[in-house]
Copies of this chain bind each other. A is one copy, B any other.
Amino acid sequence: MHKIVDVGVNLLHANDHQAAHNRKHFDAAGVRCFNLMSSPGAGKTALLEAVLGTLAQRYRLAIIEGDMTTQLDADRLRRFGVPVIPITTGRACHLDAAMVHGGVAILERDVAPLGTFDLLLVENVGNLVCPAEFAVGEHAKIALLSVTEGEDKPLKYPIMFREADCLVVTKTDLLPYLPCDRQLLHHNLRQINPTAPIFWVSVQEQTGIAEWLGWMDAQLRAPLPTVTC
């Protein structure tokens, strides 16, 4: 007799359990957690570089930096004097809740207790598919999409854009050089996600960044649930 086991569903269930544990830990410590996700090269690290100086003046923050290999992104972000915990996933295509739990443990061991921080930014592995399905305990999922990727991507990779609480369209300075229709991209994002705020950002031209920082401020002002562990 064979028992059929849906490995995918079981893995996701175990991850959701760990993510709920992480979330309770974040709430109890009074720290807000955002999970940044996108294709490789959509500009997650560049966006963080553009805001870290300002964020570090306003909040006590730390970063968990996911990459398959190398600490290139972690090195870029450390220049801002912010604690960065790199997680190299090896062959894995996304951060999962257990990896982030491990990263938080390293943060607490090497830097300071979690309750010391206001904000924990998680930069996920560049992948428009898998990270969308693996919650890490975050309060908000932030999905980036570069205009260079084309207007059809929200329709072709709907899970990522449906799950997002905040949408950031990047590299808008390249629109004049691309066969990319901004109206159509907006329309396609709204087909998949009717409500999440959409920010149009160019790090090169420094546009849209203040608006996105405003969204983060509003999130950080909202009260966290009271947790008794």
A174 at the interface (CB under 8 A from B): yes
Known: A41-B153, A153-B40. Is A68-B129 also a contact (CB below 8 A)? yes
Looking at the assembled complex, report how far the CB atom of A215 sits from the nearest CB atom of chain B, in whole angstroms.
24
A149 at the interface (CB under 8 A from B): yes
The one of B7, B125, B156, B171 in contact with A148, judged by C-beta atoms closer than 8 angstroms, is B171
Residue of B nearest to A148 (CB): B148
* Copies of the protein in its oligomer: 2
A180 to B179, CA, bound (A): 20
A133 at the interface (CB under 8 A from B): yes
1/0 per position for A137-167, CB-CB distance to B under 8 A? Answer: 0000000001011101101111100000000
A129 to B37, CA, bound (A): 14
Contacts of A67 in B (CB 8 A): 156
Looking at the assembled complex, report how far the CB atom of A191 sits from the nearest CB atom of chain B, in whole angstroms.
11
Residue of B nearest to A88 (CB): B156
Contacts of A130 in B (CB 8 A): 93, 127, 129-130
Residue of B nearest to A69 (CB): B158
A207 at the interface (CB under 8 A from B): no
Judging by beta carbons under 8 Å apart, are B70 and A149 in contact?
no
